[in-house]
Structure 1
Amino acid sequence: MRKLLTVYLGNYCRSPFAQVALTRRGGKGVAVRSAGLIGKWQDQPANPSVINAARRLGLDLTSHRAQQITLEMLDWADEVLAMDAAVLDTLQAISGERSAHKLALYLRSRDVPDPMGQGDDAFNECAVLIEAGTALHIDRNVP
Structure 2
Amino acid sequence: MRNLLAVCLGNYCRSPFAQTALTRRGGETVTVRSAGLIGKWQDQPANPSMISAARRLGFDLTPHRAQQITLEMLDWADDVLAMDASVLETLQAICGEANERKLGLYLRDRDVPDPMGQGDDAFDGCAVLIEAGTALHTGGRRL
Residue type matched to 2:142 in 1? Answer: N
3-state SS of paired residue (1:33):
strand
Pairing of 1:1-143 with structure 2 (within 5 A): 1-139=1-139, 140-141=141-142
Q: Distance in 2 between matches of 1:94 and 1:34?
A: 17
Q: Matches of 1:98 and 1:50 in 2, distance apart?
A: 33
- Structure 2 unaligned spans of 5+: none
Following the alignment from structure 2 to structure 1, what is the Cα–Cα distance between the partners of residues 135 and 142?
9
Q: Is the 8 A contact 1:3 1:31 kept in 2?
A: yes
Q: 2-side partners of 1:113 and 1:135: how far apart?
A: 18
Question: Superposition RMSD on alpha carbons, in Å?
Answer: 0.8
- Secondary structure of 2:101's match? helix
Contact preservation (8 Å) 1:27, 1:141: no
Q: Which amino acid in the other structure matches residue 65 of structure 1?
A: R
Shift of 1:96: 2.0
TM-score of the two chains, using structure 2 as the length reference:
0.97
Deviation at 1:98, TM superposition (A): 1.9
Q: Which runs of 4+ in 1 moved over 4 A?
A: none
What CA distance in whole angstroms lies between the structure 2 residues aligned with 1:118 and 1:92?
28
How many residue pairs end up in the alignment? Answer: 142
TM-score by length of 1: 0.97
The residue identity in structure 2 corresponding to 1:141 is R
**1:61-116 Cα distance to aligned partner (Å, 9 max, x none):** 00000000000000000000000001001001101202000000001011001111
Q: Deviations over 1:41-70 (max 9, x none)?
A: 000000000000111111110000000000
Contact 2:135–2:142 (8 Å) recurs in 1: no
- The whole-number CA distance in structure 2 between the counterparts of 1:93 and 1:87 is 10
Distance 1:56 1:98 in 2: 39
Gaps of 5+ in 1: none
Q: Which amino acid aligns with 1:111?
A: D
Q: Give the CA deviation at 1:141.
A: 3.1
